[in-house]
Amino acid sequence: MKHVASLILVAGLCACSGRPADTGTTNGPTSASSAPATDASSKADHASAAQTTNAEPAAPTPDSTSAAPASEHQGIAVGEPNPSAPGGFRPSDAPPSSGLAHFDGYGDMKFGMTPEQAKRAWGGELNGSVVGNACTYLNPKGDKTKDHLAFMFEGGKFVRYDVGNDRDVAPGGGRRGMVADEIKRLYAGRITETPHKYVEGGKYLKATGPGGAVVFETDAKGGVTEWHAGVAPQVDYIEGCS
């Protein structure tokens, strides 16, 4: 009997010590081992998001249709004609200036020189000859008329030159073809105006400068037809040497 009782007691103890099967739904070893994998995945997602946020934006693809159109106003280069300028002036319309006319002479010829000195200063041939103290015009050889360019001598001295061409520009900027108002603006404060002796409505516009004076003759419409420069009293001669 004692042996049977002992066997029953041992069997009961074994039954009491039995454990139910682990279903994995509690915080067992399986749940604990899955946590590190979840953390690693979360960190990888954060790193990927950070890289996307910090990446530089891609350069825009050139779009030929959105390019700014070339300007239609390209400007005008220095020296080119400018039809839009006041009066439609084009630089090519103006003849080149000789740059030789001065208040005190023409080129290297200075008022007060003797005929011989003036001829040497001119450096070329002059038509005509000066006799004594008489009033005489000499003009460059090749010119068929003294109205183009002529040098006056009187009293044995070079005293004046007359210009009837469009090439020469008078000292101070005046020239043939200008109008009286332009001359007055160029020589503001220095102009003496007197009526023309032979042209009704015409004028003589005289401007003084260093070493001499210049006189512009205008027609009835105010246009400059010719001019001369010289020293007194010859610069005021109306008929020249006549």
Kindly report the CATH number assigned to the domain that includes residue 127: 2.60.460
Give the C-alpha separation, 168 to 143, whole Å: 15
Give the C-alpha separation, 39 to 19, whole Å: 32
For residues 22-50, average pLDDT: 43
pLDDT tens figures, 81-133: 333 333 332 333 334 445 899 999 999 999 999 999 999 999 989 999 999 99
Residue type, 118: A
Q: Is 184 within the bounds of a domain?
A: yes
Q: Is 231 within the bounds of a domain?
A: yes
Q: Is 80 within the bounds of a domain?
A: no
30-39, 94-103, 131-140, 149-158: least confidently modelled range: 30-39
pLDDT > 90: what percent of the chain? 53
The tally of domains found in the chain comes to 1
CB contact at 8 A, 231 and 224: no
Q: Is 121 within the bounds of a domain?
A: yes
Strands 203-209, 109-110: parallel, antiparallel or unpaired by DSSP? unpaired
Q: Is 196 within the bounds of a domain?
A: yes
DSSP E strands, the chain: 101-102, 105-106, 109-110, 126-127, 136-140, 149-154, 157-163, 191-195, 203-209, 212-218, 224-230
Q: Is 79 within the bounds of a domain?
A: no
Check residue 17 and give its pLDDT. Answer: 47
Instruction: Please list the helix, strand and coil fractions of the chain in percent, rounded to the nearest 5, in that order.
Output: 25, 20, 50
pTM above 0.95, yes or no: no
pLDDT tens figures, 155-184: 999 999 999 999 999 999 999 999 999 999
Check residue 99 and give its pLDDT. Answer: 87
Check residue 144 and give its pLDDT. Answer: 67
Q: Is 71 within the bounds of a domain?
A: no
pLDDT tens figures, 176-208: 999 999 999 999 999 999 999 999 999 999 999
Structure tokens at 184: 């007055």
| Residue showing tokens 């011989």 | 116
For residues 127-153, average pLDDT: 88
Q: Is 228 within the bounds of a domain?
A: yes
Q: Name the residue range of residue 118's domain.
A: 90-236
